[in-house]
């Protein structure tokens, strides 16, 4: 299996991420700059998608359109089947059909913090990443929403059993413990 070696230039620490084994990793860095540099390294690997802590969506289009943009562009979905698939993906994340439809009609500015992460996560699922990076994904959430956010990885696992998940977190920021194969503090 291919292995990625990440190095934090600020601290000099390094770690190894094994791909294609269905593993989950958690990496903490002391500074936002160090974390950003690790993200840049991970993005160099083919098949990588980022579920960003702020959702990472275009503000003037609704959630469905935000999910559709990369899915259609990369040929992962066609217009006529897209909404049905989006609703099904939200369902795999524990969101009922009527709630998913309402969520799809909202614009990013109308979303609660967890909903932003959820929508960005569903967008990532459409692209079938081999490596899914949860970048500062838990920051600013309530304890209950952190649990819900961590549970989303099960939906990724169901779709990509051999996929690799990496949680990139800032040290010292309160967060729930992520069940993982290996945790690195860099």
Confidence band (pLDDT; 50, 70, 90) for 63?
A: very high
- How large is the average pLDDT for residues 164-181? 88
The larger pLDDT score, comparing residue 152 to residue 126, is at 152
pLDDT at position 103 is 95
For residues 68, 41, 24 and 134, what is the CA-based torsion angle, rounded to 10 degrees?
-40
Q: What's the chain's average pLDDT?
A: 91
Distance CA 168, CA 39 (A): 8
Distance CA 148, CA 114 (A): 8
Q: What is the pLDDT of residues 128-169, one digit of tens each?
A: 999 999 999 999 999 999 999 999 999 999 999 999 999 999
Burial of 22 (0-12, 13-18, 19+ CB in 10 A): middle
Give residues with Cβ within 8 angstroms of 98, minimum separation 6: none
Residue 75 has pLDDT above 80, yes or no: no
**Residue 96, Cα to own-chain centre: how many angstroms?**
20
Q: The pTM is what?
A: 0.92
Q: What is the pLDDT of residues 82-114, one digit of tens each?
A: 888 899 999 999 999 899 999 999 999 999 999
SS3 131: strand
User: Can you spell out the DSSP letters for 35-101?
Assistant: HHHHHHHHHTSTTEEEEETT----TTS-HHHHHHHHHHHTTS--HHHHHHHHHHHHHHTT--HHHHH
Confidence band (pLDDT; 50, 70, 90) for 1?
A: low
The larger pLDDT score, comparing residue 186 to residue 176, is at 186
């Amino acid at each position: 299996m291919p292995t990625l070696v990440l190095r934090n230039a600020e601290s000099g620490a390094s770690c190894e991420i094994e791909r294609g084994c269905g593993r989950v990793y958690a990496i903490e860095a002391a500074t936002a700059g160090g974390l950003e540099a690790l993200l840049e390294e991970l993005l160099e690997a083919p098949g990588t998608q980022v579920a960003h802590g702020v959702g990472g969506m275009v503000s003037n289009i609704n959630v469905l359109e935000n999910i559709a943009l990369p899915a259609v562009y990369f040929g992962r979905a066609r217009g006529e089947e897209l909404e049905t698939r989006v609703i099904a993906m939200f369902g795999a994340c524990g969101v009922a059909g009527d709630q998913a439809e309402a969520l799809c009609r909202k614009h990013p500015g109308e979303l609660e913090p967890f909903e932003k992460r959820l929508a960005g996560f569903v967008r990532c699922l459409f692209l079938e990443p081999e490596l899914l990076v949860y970048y500062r994904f838990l920051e600013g959430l309530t304890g209950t929403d952190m649990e819900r956010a961590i549970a989303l990885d099960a939906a990724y696992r169901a779709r990509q059993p051999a996929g690799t998940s990496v949680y990139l977190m800032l040290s010292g920021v309160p967060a729930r413990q992520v069940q993982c194969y290996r945790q690195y503090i860099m």
